[in-house]
Chain A
């Protein structure tokens, strides 16, 4: 089990991580949501041993601090940047990283073959990475994190810049790995990825852990009401009490019981052309917790992320 206890990290006057605690069990995928400058990469750096916490403690599966090289055997990291040697072939990259973890001989060959198969790159095994497409590199980047078969996997924005086919491939692989019992931290900007892959989600902003819970419970707690919109054919009769303001031919309102509300309006004789019901999701949870949209925050803070990784490494 991964255990992060009251971890703090600052760069000068900038507090990158403030008192974050979390735990992760085998077979669980934990989503890490937050704009890049939120401290997400710093948190991953602290878990991976790339950074030393100012305060607090990180314990990797099997015990031991990530500062201890032996303990880091239990850890696999797929960084956001494609951390591969473009001058080496796919096989040479995987073999090199496997050797760093002490794999030799038949064991090394087996793991390299297995990871090439996982990445769907068996036919390109002897081609240099420089000749690969972005999607192929992204798959190999994940395979390189898995070559030593670690129980804990840190995936930092694994689907950035990939085509839908590769994205689907990566989702399948993450689900397979979860089913094999690996503990995975999945950092992403995309709500749909977190919703699909993660049972629990941690929302981080400005270095603080704003919420950490099951997705359903988060939505229940922070998602608010469903938003209902109907488009009317004509002006509503004054005798009917509308649940929201009528403006430009539409009526919008928020409710916990959207179906019941619609049923009541229909029984009162109101007629409308279109109905939209928007249920609360992680996006609304994030919006409610941070006061801003995750996608907007992520796009505007790319440079902040770069600065954070730079400072970290």
Chain B
């Protein structure tokens, strides 16, 4: 057993080195999936915008100077967010329902009258958030309160505006019939003292400063805004598997799992053919004559295939991420990669037993690959496969491999949803590995 642990990596290293130096094989394993992923990602760019930035709509029903100032502040402070303005309330809320924007902020009529004035009741804001984007909810509220804080700072510095607001407030209190006389007198006196304060304030005093910390707080003394949450139900188109297509954030989300499959199939076929090539070249005879067991030879080939598949998937994920792909469930990637690599390593061991010539094995392997890919979503994305192909695809390991990768990248699978493809991949891998390695061991030991 100790010997096996030393020798399996030795054999695998040899195979990986040979793969690295074989430019044609390397092209099929590395080049093809990259070209495929980039090509199909680029041509299906219209499927999604390709822009992974956060999108927020602002509906300005107040159309006042201060509502416009708030919009300007938000745009300047957060230039990386795609701000959608100019929509009416209905359009903005519909966009949230459809998942086209993460949130809609509604500035209702009268917002500007009270926004940023600390001695008045806080203005009301309405906020609608995509229920499937809970993580972004806190962020949107935070930037909104920060914007309101900055708006309050600007308003404090605007002496004329503050004086007009004070005078409006004093007139409203003096004419109020609902308040008692002593209360009216006390409030008016207090507001007069503020008026006096603004009169005595030097022209260049700069007004009151509101720190960022204050802007972000909502203390009992002063509230920048009262945010009313609008409850929405998400409406979204779903694909044949029931996943909302709005989950897809970039075209790479679809094209890269698909492209990765071709790299995986290339790996499995390359290593299956390499075993037959060793038999033809005679190097397999040397391995058989060496003081190692047939299981060790099979193990070396399997380890090399497993490592190569893991490397191909990792490479595609890194490339996809660099292009803007953002897996929604990154914690599912590792088990998905391992299960997929295990599955196709087993398939490689089976394919290697099919024939005795490189041509036979290569032909059979690519024939099977094309069928598996056709019904498993390797050629046309799973999301768009017709239902009858989806049904046939259940027997294709390619389907489950793509599904587990898509589950982590854009389908937003839960662990229980991911358990099915993970179990299928592991099960197929185990059965294929046991079957393939048993036949190979019999072949290598001269008993067959």
Contact = CB atoms under 8 A, between A and B. Distances in A.
A98 to B, nearest CB: 10
Interface residues of A, number: 35
B10 A72 contact: no
B432 to A, nearest CB: 23
B3 interface: yes
Interface stretch (B54-62, B79-87, B154-162, B283-291): B283-291
Given A51-B446, A85-B18, A312-B446, A75 B283 contact: no
B7 A87 contact: no
B282 A82 contact: yes
A101 interface: yes
A310 B356 contact: yes
Contacts of A313: 279, 284-285, 288, 446
A85 B283 contact: yes
Contacts of B356: 310
A224 to B, nearest CB: 39
A312 B285 CA distance: 10
A100 B447 CA distance: 22
B416 interface: no
Contacts of B226: none
Interface string A61-79: 0000000011111010101
A77 B285 contact: yes
Interface in B399-448: 445-447
Given A82-B281, A100-B7, A100-B10, A49 B17 contact: no
Contacts of B447: 52
Contacts of B17: 87-88, 92
A48 B291 CA distance: 11
A50 B21 CA distance: 30
B192 interface: no
B141 interface: no
Given A96-B10, A97-B286, A310-B356, A83 B281 contact: yes
B10 A50 contact: no
B3 A83 contact: no
Nearest to A97: B286
A121 interface: no
A85 B287 CA distance: 12
A41 to B, nearest CB: 11
B18 A48 contact: no
Contacts of B318: none
A105 B292 CA distance: 20
B361 to A, nearest CB: 15
A79 B288 CA distance: 12
B281 A81 contact: yes
A84 interface: yes
A144 interface: yes
Contact of A102 (B3, B22, B283, B284): B3
A52 B447 CA distance: 7
A83 B290 contact: no
B212 interface: no
B299 to A, nearest CB: 13
Interface in B215-270: none
Contacts of A71: 291
A55 interface: no
B282 A81 contact: yes
Contacts of A310: 356
Contacts of A49: 288-289, 446
Contacts of A52: 445-447
Interface string B137-168: 00000000000000000000000000000000
Interface string B3-30: 1001100100010011001100000000
9 contacts: A45-B446, A69-B293, A77-B285, A82-B281, A85-B18, A87-B18, A87-B21, A100-B292, A102-B291
